[in-house]
Structure 1
C-alpha cells in the first residue's frame, strides 16, 4: 500500500525555514556582532610575529562589544595591556564620509564589501547611497603603552618608563641601516600617554601634538564635526597666502605627500637619487598646510562625481610630521642672525678681507632684522565652535608594529582611544602564503597550488606571539 503524499503545510515550511536558515543566520550575526571578529593580516608590519596571509579571530567581548545602532560599547572585563595584540579602527581616516556625521547616516557594515551610508544632502545628480568600500579600516598592532606610561624612541628603539624594550617590539624581519632624527620611526622625544582627566590648552601645544589631540577628540566625539584651523600672522597681520621661498623638507617616507606637492609646485626634476636623511627645498604656500589641517583627510575619488546607484568614497590621511616641518621652517625664518664676535675686528689693524667679512655679516644681520615676524595661530573647532582646552575622557593606548622599521603606527598618527578598540587578537585559524602572487582566485590554472601554500604549522597558534 503506497503512502499518501503529505500535503503542503505553510506552518511546517516556515518552521523548517526558521530552523535551517533564519536561526543560524541570526546566531551568526550575534556572534559576529558581540563575540568574534575575523581579520586578515594585510601587510608586513607585524612580521615575524604575524605573517602576511594569516587569518585571525579576535575576541570582541574582552574589551567590550559594541552596542547596536550607537557609538557606545558594553563594558569589557579588561582593557588592553602592554603586550596585547589589538585590532582597532584606524584613527587616520574619517569614520563618516567627509568627516561629516550630520550629513551622513551609517546604514550597515557589509563586511568584506565595506560600509554603506545615506547622504541626506547629495549634490545635484548624485545618489543618496554612499559606498565606503575600503574604510573605515581596521588595523592590528601591539599595545606597547597605556595611559600614564612614559614613551620615547631613540635610534629606532622603544623606551617605556625609561626602560629599553628588547622584545616589544623588536622581532621584525627588517632593520634599517640608516637612522635619522627627523623621522618618527627613529626618534620621538619623551612624552607621557595622557590619562582620563588630563587637560590640554589648545593655543600652547606644538602643531604636531595638536594634530594628535584632534584625533583623540574625533575618536571620543564620533557624532561631532571636528576641525583644526591654523592661521599665519605676518607682523601681526593675518596672511594665509604667505609664500615660503625656500621651504626645507627632510626626505622621509612619511613626507611623501609633502615632497610630491613641492616637486609639483616647483616643477622640479630630481637630478640625483634622494635617500633617507637628505633635505630638499623649494617654494611652498602656507595655504597648502592650512587646507590640509582643516580637512584632515584627502579624498582619493572625486567627491563631485555624478550618476550611478551609489557614490564611491575613499580617503588617505596625512602625517602630523608635516606640521612639525611647518613649525620648523617658521622658526628658522624668525631666528635672529648671529654675528660672530671674533669677526668684529679693530679698524686700525684690519685687513681689507677682514673688513669685507665684517661688513657682509653686518649686512646679513640687518636683512634678518628686516624680515617679517611670523606666528602660527591655532584652534580646534567642534561643531563649528572653537574650544580653548580639552579634557581626556577615555583611556588611551600607544600602538606599534613588531616589525618596527616597517610599520605605520602610533609614532606617526598618535593615540588610540578605548572606543576605537575592536577586539583582542586571539588565534590564527588559517594561514596562506602568497607573497609572490602565484595563486589567484581569478585564474583556475593556479588553484592546484592551494594545498602547497597553506602554512599548516601556524593554524591554531594563539596570540600574542613574542
Structure 2
C-alpha cells in the first residue's frame, strides 16, 4: 500500500525552524554576548605564557557583561586582580570612527568581520554605512597593578609599591641586551588612579595629560574628547613654527615622528640606527598639533567616495612623542637663557688719540638681549567644554605583556578603565604553530599540514595554571 504524500504544514515547518535554527542561534548569541569571548593570540607579547597561534576563551561575566544597546555593563562579581590575564578594548584607538559618537551610531559587532556604524552626516558622495574592520581592537595582557598601586619601571624591570616584581605569574621574559630611556625600560614612579582622584589639567606634563585624555575617553564613551595644544612665544601664538634642530630618540614608539622627520628633511640613512640613538632635523609644531587633536592617524583616506560602505582604520599616536615635544621646547628656552647671559665685545666712540672698548660679561643687563619665552598651552575638552579638573569615575588598571621587552602595553599608552575590560582569560581550546605560514586557510592544498602543527599539549590548559 503506497504512503500518501504528506501535505506541507507551515506550522510544522516553523516549529522545526524554531527548534533547529532560531533557538540554537539565539542561545549562541546570548552566550557570546554575556558569557564567553573567543580570542586568538596574534603576537608574542605574552610569551612564554601564551604563544602566537593560541586560541582561548575568556569569561565575560567575571568582570561584568555588556548591556545591549548601551555603553554600560552589568556588575561583575570581581575586579581584575594583580596577576589576572585580561582581555580588554585597546584604549589607543577610537571606539567610534573619528572619535565622534555624535556623528556615528554603532549598529553591531560582526565578530571576525569587525564593527559596522551608521554615519548620520556623510560627506557628499559617501555612503551612510561605515565598516571598522580592524577595530576597536581587543588586546590581551596581564594586570600588574590596580588603583592605588605605585608603579615604576627601571632597566626594564617592574616595581609595584617599591617591590621588584619577580613573583607574579608569568613573571617576565627579558631579551634586550641594552637599556635606554624608552617607556619600555624607564618609568618614574606614579600612582594608578583611584575612584575620586582629581587631576588638574594645568599641572600635568603633556605625556601624562595624554594618558588622562585616554582615561576620560574610556569613561565617557558617548561624548567627544578633544586635546588641543598650541605654541606661544612671548605671548604670541606661533603654531606654524619650525624647529630647526628637533631631536627624536630612536625608539619603537617613535615611528610616526621619525618617518615624518626623514620625509621632511629628505634624509637618507648612511649608517644603521639602533635603539637609543638620537636623530635631529627640521620639524613643524603643526605636525604635533594636528596629531594630538585627532588622537589617531587615519590609515584610509577619510574623503574616499562611492561604494556600499566606507572603510576606516586608525593607527595610535603615542604620548611619548609629546614628551619629546616638551623636551625640545625646553631646549629652545635653554638656548634663549644661554644667549641672554653672554655679551660680545662692543666698540664705542673714543677720543682721537686712541680707541676704547667696553667688554661685557655674563650677567650684564645693559647690553644683554631680552630672552624669549616659549611655552605650550593645552586644553582638554569633554563634549566641547574645556576641563580644568577631572575626577576619576571608575577603577583603573595597569597592563603589561609577560614578554616585557616586546610588548606594547600600559607603559606606552596608560591606564585601562574598568569599562574597557572585556573578559578574564580562561582556557586554551586550540593551538597550532604556523610561524612559517606554511598552512594557509585559503589554500586547500596546505590543509594536510594542520594536524602536524597542532600543539596537542596546550589544548585544554587553564590560563591561571600556566606559570
Equivalence for 2:191: 192
Distance, in Å, in 2 between the alignment partners of 1:97 and 1:366 is 58
Partners of 2:63 and 2:78 within 8 A in 1 = yes
Partners of 1:48 and 1:171 within 8 A in 2 = no
Partners of 2:132 and 2:311 within 8 A in 1 = yes
**Cα deviations by residue, 1:314-340 (Å, 9 ceiling, x for unpaired):** 000111000000111111221233999
Q: Any unmatched runs of 5+ in structure 2?
A: 343-358
Partners of 2:341 and 2:368 within 8 A in 1 = no
Equivalence for 1:53: 53
Deviation, structure 1 residue 372: 2.2
Deviation, structure 1 residue 441: 1.4
Equivalence for 1:456: 456
Distance, in Å, in 2 between the alignment partners of 1:368 and 1:427 is 71
Distance, in Å, in 1 between the alignment partners of 2:38 and 2:66 is 15
Equivalence for 2:239: 240
Deviation, structure 1 residue 78: 0.4
Partners of 1:158 and 1:169 within 8 A in 2 = no
Q: TM-score, normalised by structure 2?
A: 0.92
Partners of 1:47 and 1:171 within 8 A in 2 = no
Label 1:170 to 1:282 Cα distance change in 2 as closer, same or farther (>3 A): farther
Deviation, structure 1 residue 142: 0.2
Per the alignment, in what secondary structure is the counterpart of residue 76 of structure 1? coil
Per the alignment, in what secondary structure is the counterpart of residue 126 of structure 1? coil
Equivalence for 2:356: none
- 1:325 and 2:324 are equivalent in the alignment: yes
**Cα deviations by residue, 1:75-103 (Å, 9 ceiling, x for unpaired):** 00000000000000000000000111111
Moved more, 373-382 or 192-201: 373-382
Listed as ranges, the matches of 1:92-107 within 5 Å are 92-107=92-107
Equivalence for 2:268: 269
Per the alignment, in what secondary structure is the counterpart of residue 463 of structure 2? coil
Partners of 1:59 and 1:425 within 8 A in 2 = yes
Distance, in Å, in 2 between the alignment partners of 1:170 and 1:188 is 21
Q: Any unmatched runs of 5+ in structure 1?
A: 342-358
Distance, in Å, in 2 between the alignment partners of 1:67 and 1:366 is 71
Moved more, 240-249 or 215-224: 240-249
Distance, in Å, in 2 between the alignment partners of 1:60 and 1:170 is 22
Deviation, structure 1 residue 166: 1.1
Deviation, structure 1 residue 446: 1.3
Equivalence for 1:5: 5
Distance, in Å, in 2 between the alignment partners of 1:388 and 1:331 is 24
Deviation, structure 1 residue 362: 5.2
**Cα deviations by residue, 1:136-168 (Å, 9 ceiling, x for unpaired):** 000000000000000000000000011000144
Partners of 2:340 and 2:370 within 8 A in 1 = no
Deviation, structure 1 residue 125: 0.7
- 1:147 and 2:147 are equivalent in the alignment: yes
Listed as ranges, the matches of 1:21-420 within 5 Å are 21-168=21-168, 175-181=175-181, 183-335=182-334, 336-337=337-338, 370-420=370-420
**Cα deviations by residue, 1:112-144 (Å, 9 ceiling, x for unpaired):** 000000001111111100000000000000000
Partners of 2:340 and 2:368 within 8 A in 1 = no
Distance, in Å, in 2 between the alignment partners of 1:234 and 1:396 is 37
Partners of 1:169 and 1:400 within 8 A in 2 = no
| Count of residues in correspondence between the two structures | 448
Partners of 1:337 and 1:368 within 8 A in 2 = no
Distance, in Å, in 2 between the alignment partners of 1:106 and 1:164 is 43
Deviation, structure 1 residue 3: 3.1
Deviation, structure 1 residue 7: 2.0
Per the alignment, in what secondary structure is the counterpart of residue 280 of structure 1? strand
Distance, in Å, in 2 between the alignment partners of 1:264 and 1:368 is 38
Per the alignment, in what secondary structure is the counterpart of residue 291 of structure 1? helix
Moved more, 369-378 or 225-234: 369-378
Distance, in Å, in 2 between the alignment partners of 1:12 and 1:170 is 55
**Cα deviations by residue, 1:258-298 (Å, 9 ceiling, x for unpaired):** 11111111111111111111111111111111111110001
Deviation, structure 1 residue 171: 5.1
Label 1:288 to 1:370 Cα distance change in 2 as closer, same or farther (>3 A): farther
Partners of 2:49 and 2:170 within 8 A in 1 = no
Q: TM-score, normalised by structure 1?
A: 0.93
Structural RMSD (CA)? 2.1
Partners of 2:165 and 2:171 within 8 A in 1 = no
Moved more, 185-194 or 5-14: 5-14
Moved more, 365-374 or 201-210: 365-374
Per the alignment, in what secondary structure is the counterpart of residue 337 of structure 1? helix
Structure 1 segments, 4+ long, off by >6 Å, are: 338-341, 365-368
